[in-house]
Structure 1
């Protein structure tokens, strides 16, 4: 009988602590444009970015760049794996994984909203020849995590863009 009030009080304390520390669930991101064209070399990063935009914003992905208010262009996406340490036998003991992404955001008229920008993420992967498959799976998970971090950073960049000024209409001659 005394266990139930204790659980309630504990749950209440945890809730108050979370509220007091500033914790809140990730809400939606407001973008300055209602339609966005996403283009570039296909791949998992673009798929993840489109999913993030669709699930956390009210912005609609446009298939035709001419019908979008802004055009996101993925200029490059290059994951690399570099050996950084070797063991006494001369085999690789550690890799550095790096994902480097370049992108830009422009209006259909060509006005740059975000100039070409490069974002990189790195991670270390210890390696053992006795666990090759496990290390390959670990590398895949690390790349996915880095890609998600990059998508979050791109979303932050997109959320800081202010609405592009409308071009001034030419003055009509009397």
Structure 2
């Protein structure tokens, strides 16, 4: 018995063949995980609203991607760099509206919105991205008996929308190929 090779069942052979076929199919489809963004510029100057939560998170994301980010009030660096491109934040606001009420007028559902509008241009004034508005909406139910929990849920949804908007902006900035 020690000298004979083990006999593979049909099921084992079938599963092995299926796994091999899947590996071949995935390797040939061009699927690649999204990596860190690569930008056509090395430095950026913020203009407009810079102290809002979305703008602060965007600044951190840009700096962690290797860009030098200057605030609008920051003087030029010792090398004379004031930023290759200007990111102008036109609108950065959060909204909360009532969308559902009971017959007695009690709030049952609200809609949360985060709106961010920006443009990107070179220092010389050439437009790279025209005014771009990003609008995200989330619906949230409301109960008077769980006000604190709903406030925490609302804050979590706003943070989630903020992160989503920052990622969308990063992808749009990385799509700029030529200054």
TM-score interval (norm. to shorter): 0.7 to 0.9
What stretches of structure 2 of length at least 5 have no aligned partner?
1-18
Q: Is the 8 A contact 1:30 1:58 kept in 2?
A: no
Larger RCO: Structure 1 or Structure 2 (Cα < 8 Å, ≥ 6 residues apart)?
2
In 1, the alpha carbon distance for the partners of 2:47 and 2:158 equals 21
Counterpart pick for 2:46 among 24, 32, 38? 38
Q: CA RMSD in A?
A: 2.2
Q: Is the 8 A contact 1:36 1:69 kept in 2?
A: yes
CA displacement at 1:73 relative to structure 2: 1.1
Aligned positions, number:
147
The residue correspondences of 1:115-154 to structure 2 (distance < 5 A) are: 115-154=130-169
In the TM superposition, structure 1's runs of 4+ consecutive aligned residues that sit over 6 Å from their partners are none
CA displacement at 1:59 relative to structure 2: 1.8
SS at match of 1:67: coil
CA displacement at 1:83 relative to structure 2: 0.4
SS at match of 1:137: helix
- 1:51 maps to 60
Q: 1:109-151 CA deviation, whole Å, 9 max, x = no partner? A: 1111111111100000100011111111111110111111111
Q: Is the 8 A contact 1:83 1:92 kept in 2?
A: yes
In 1, the alpha carbon distance for the partners of 2:141 and 2:114 equals 17
CA displacement at 1:33 relative to structure 2: 0.1
Give the structure-1-normalised TM-score: 0.76
